[in-house]
Homo-oligomer: A and B are copies of this chain.
Amino acid sequence: MCAEGLGGGLPLRGESALHEAHMALIVQKFGGTSVGSIERIQSVAARVARWQAQGHQLVVVVSAMAGETNRLIGLAEALGSHPDRRELDVVMATGEQVTIGLVAIALQTQGLKARSYMGGQVAIRTDARHGKARIDQIDAEGLLADLEQGIIPVVAGFQGVSPSGDITTLGRGGSDTTAVALAAALKADECQIYTDVDGVYTTDPRIVPEARRLDRISFEEMLELASVGAKVLQTRSVEFAGKYNVPLRVLSSFDDGPGTLITYEDAVMEAPKVSGIAYNRDEAKLTVLRIPDRPGVGAEILAPLGNAGIEVDMIVQNASRDGYTDFTFTVHRNDFPAAKTLVEPIAAKLGAEGVLCDNKVVKVSIVGVGMRSHAGVASKMFQILGAEGINMQAISTSEIKVSVLLEEKYLELAVRALHAAFGLEQAAD
């Protein structure tokens, strides 16, 4: 990546068109903080201008100015606690609409050609589920025609148009999804997500000062890191990027670092065994003790939670003994009282011994594509935690992740010990 006149400090990338001499098509997405004031909008325009000066074609996607979406929701909710979703979308979509106009004006002031587009003008066609619409199709011809003429399209994130012509919104964080979907539709060389952090880290730098920014990470690792607490990008946008193979880069809108590139596994050379340590503070654990181990028991326990809109995170069930088993699951701490109230009568009905509850637990996970091919990562994790005298209350694994449930007070100790023992402070690539 040779853009933005940063000198020679940037790592080379093998798979992108960006560091080749000729022009690349890049979708750049700037979030609410990045466009949170006139000064920051001017700074965004200056950054876009630098990229264009490098010969690249740019499509800009923006969010509402920081605080604006909450202000608009506040107005609507002042009128009624459950405002109509269609009308709420009409109100909320104005946040991004203001930003596209302002960013287009700022780009024009820099002497560039720019043109704003609301979701419906692109058109970004979605289903009709107001507030959480899914993108069905994007008509990219208009944007491509603009790019041919040297015009920078500035597209409102987070919004689209339903089959009946109504404004829809994609839900919180939906601007990332808009950017990735546009990059896919335009067959862009890269989708750059500008945020207030300069990339994806091996773990939370507030806990481990030695935490290191990853130059690259796979889509799957990113999904696991995001879903266990390192929320840099909206999960949906990462899934989308993975599905359509859009190279995704997270980078800071406040400095000029290279950020973290998210690509397919095979693009990541010499992958380390473990890429990062994630954690989630807000877990609450419920264990249904000694229930008859027969098909459908798990579903009977979880169905009422699903109906009540309570999301279940970890689910752990051991092999049964004497036809009985223990069934453990975790929920967000906010949902703990409701989950307890729902599960206790079911446990009684199923003939369980009781429900063991603990809302002071945390989840710590090691994540890495390398685990697939390298045995012994999980056992090393358990050994490290054991050496620190940390007891594991439950264990759950996926292909690229091992998660353990711990007593709350051990969180920082566990994260630091794992980060050090897996050598994450050393650059691996």
Interface residues of A (CB under 8 A from B): 38, 41-42, 72, 75-76, 78-80, 83-84, 86-91, 93-94, 97-98, 100-102, 104-106, 108-109, 114-116, 118, 121, 165-167
Contact = CB atoms under 8 A, between A and B. Distances in A.
A156 B101 CA distance: 18
Contacts of A91: 97-98, 101-102, 105
Contact of A116 (B42, B87, B115): B87
Given A90-B97, A97-B91, A116-B90, A105 B84 contact: yes
Contact of A98 (B75, B165, B167): B75
Contacts of A87: 101-102, 104-105, 108, 114, 116
Contacts of A102: 75-76, 79, 87, 91
30 contacts: A38-B75, A38-B79, A41-B79, A42-B79, A75-B102, A76-B105, A79-B105, A79-B109, A80-B109, A86-B115, A87-B102, A87-B104, A87-B105, A87-B114, A87-B116, A88-B101, A88-B105, A89-B101, A90-B100, A90-B101, A90-B116, A90-B118, A91-B97, A91-B98, A91-B105, A93-B97, A94-B94, A118-B167, A121-B165, A121-B166
A-B interface, 3 closest residue pairs, ranked by CB to CB distance from nearest? A91-B101, A94-B94, A90-B101
Given A87-B114, A90-B100, A90-B118, 6 more contacts: A76-B102, A80-B106, A84-B108, A87-B101, A87-B116, A94-B94
A101 B72 CA distance: 10
A396 B78 CA distance: 54
A122 to B, nearest CB: 11
Contacts of A165: 121
A98 B72 contact: yes
Majority SS at the chain A contact face = helix
Contacts of A79: 38, 41-42, 102, 105-106, 109
A259 to B, nearest CB: 27
Contacts of A72: 98
A118 B98 CA distance: 15
A109 to B, nearest CB: 4
A42, A80, A105, most chain B CB atoms within 10 A:
A105
Contacts of A109: 79-80
Nearest to A167: B118
A105 B121 contact: no
A426 B216 CA distance: 84
A255 to B, nearest CB: 23
Nearest to A95: B94
Contacts of A94: 94, 97-98
Nearest to A142: B165
Contacts of A108: 80, 83-84, 87
A72 B87 CA distance: 21
